[in-house]
Structure 1
Amino acid sequence: MSDHHHHHGGGGHCQGEHDHSNDITPALQSLLYSQIDFDSITTLNEATEKGGAAIVQKTWAERLNDKPELESDADEQLLMYIPFTGQVKLHSLLLYTAPTAAAPKTVKLFKNRDDLDFSTASELSPTQTIEVPQPVAGADVFELPLNRAHWNTTTSVTLFFEDNWTDGEDDVTKVGYIGFKGQFMALNREPVSFLYEAAANPNDHVSIPGLNDIGSRVMPGQ
């Protein structure tokens, strides 16, 4: 995993002439921020109500801000349900945490499950498991690639933060920013509308008896 970290940490330094603002445009092209259903996000074991939703609602420009920050409550585990407004194809998970041992270490991701609790999340096989690199001072967001074949037709993601880098010494996990990269797929009503028109056009509405005139349907005897 260290190689993964050095790749991301080093990437910013290799392009010394760039600052973070120059990196915003390519990232925004595939950010799924506007496709997240923020009002329906739920987080179990969060220390502050809506703390999970707050860090997902951070914009890309706010990703490195200290606050808001999601903290776990009773122990180090967090379970976040994040729905989208339609179907998406996920490419990567974006994650930022302050460079402390409270940063998450293992994240299990479940696709299209709105019924998980800590017990079921611990028992079920996840769609994918990610080992998150330990953050260091000055690091930007980790872009953690997902297996794209597993993340087509995704309507929600549940993130199970299983442990952190304290190795059991501290029962608080902290997360500063969560985002997603991928492709947004059209809502159902768009292809349905298209299919209806495609089916109707060959018949040229007028040639369908009784359908070219609303009155003929309401009063068939007239």
Structure 2
Amino acid sequence: MPTFKIFKNARQTDSIQGADPKKLSDVVKKVASEVAKIDAGGDAGSSSTGKYWLGASLPRNYIDVTESVDVRGLDILNYETSKGTARTLFKENKPTDTDEQILLYIPFQSTLKVHSLHITSIPSSDAQEDDELPSRPKKLKIFVNRPKILGFDDADSMQATQDVELSEKDWDSKTGTANLELRFVKFQSVYSLVLFVAESEGDNEKVRIDRIRIIGETGEKRDGKIEKISHDDD
């Protein structure tokens, strides 16, 4: 039997299985209505309205799988608490927040095939000296399937699954987003990522990351649960 799947902002919103012309017609009319609102400048839940943020276009055959992030197990080091938490980086709305240089642990509820990461870093507009403003990430190290967050010394010295170096041309001028394409063969069965910003642009001591999106394919749900590791021992 034919199956029709409807996606909005890279996420499935409806599914029609079998020969049901009335339901299919109703869904087509609904989608057409939302498209008309977008063309007219209205609110149809697009990223431009602030309701949902997808900073870069999706590669063919892959979807936004950020909803697979296990937010209960997120861990982050060296960030400015007044600007939000690790969960802030995965919010669905348009970004407005700033974080300092970070070392981020991202566990997943399902085992994923990760094709790429979208990193949004919107340039600051505050009236401060340039060297005091947070800047964009330049060098990043990505580690796969670590059981918990790494320390800064370990992250700096260990060999990463993939090293990424960004230049100005990698940042989209409209959305402030860089598309980090990964070596797909090394990201086939991923249950966690550690993202380490090793260096920022220029001589700035702070780095700004507003949003992170995980792009790829979802697999089976993981058994058991992931618990956050405490770092309050010292």
Partner of 1:105: 138
- CA deviation digits over 1:105-134, x for unaligned, max 9? 011000011241101101100000111233
**Distance of 1:188 and 1:79 partners within structure 2:** 24
Does 2:189 correspond to 1:160?
Answer: no
Relative distance call for 1:184 and 1:98 in structure 2 (3 A) is: same
Paired residue type of 1:91: H
**Distance of 1:115 and 1:102 partners within structure 2:** 23
1:1-222 matches, within 5 Å, as 27=58, 30-48=63-81, 51-56=85-90, 58-59=91-92, 62-63=93-94, 65=95, 67-69=96-98, 71-72=99-100, 77-99=101-123, 102-113=135-146, 114-134=148-168, 135=171, 137-166=173-202, 169-187=203-221
**Distance of 2:77 and 2:176 partners within structure 1:** 26
More helix by share: 1
**Distance of 1:99 and 1:109 partners within structure 2:** 23
State the superposition RMSD in angstroms: 2.9
- CA deviation digits over 1:139-175, x for unaligned, max 9? 4422211000000110000000011112xx2211111
Paired residue type of 1:103: R
**Distance of 2:172 and 2:191 partners within structure 1:** 33
Q: Scaled by the length of structure 1, what TM-score is found?
A: 0.63
How many residues end up aligned between the 2 structures? Answer: 160
Structure 1 unmatched runs, 5+: 1-16, 190-222
Structure 2 unmatched runs, 5+: 1-38, 125-133, 224-234
8 Å CA contact retained: 1:33, 1:180 = yes
More strand by share: 2
Which aligned segments of 4 or more residues in structure 1 are displaced greater than 4 angstroms? 19-24
For the residue of structure 1 that corresponds to 2:153, the secondary structure is helix
Relative distance call for 1:147 and 1:136 in structure 2 (3 A) is: closer
Which structure has the bigger radius of gyration?
1
8 Å CA contact retained: 1:37, 1:85 = yes
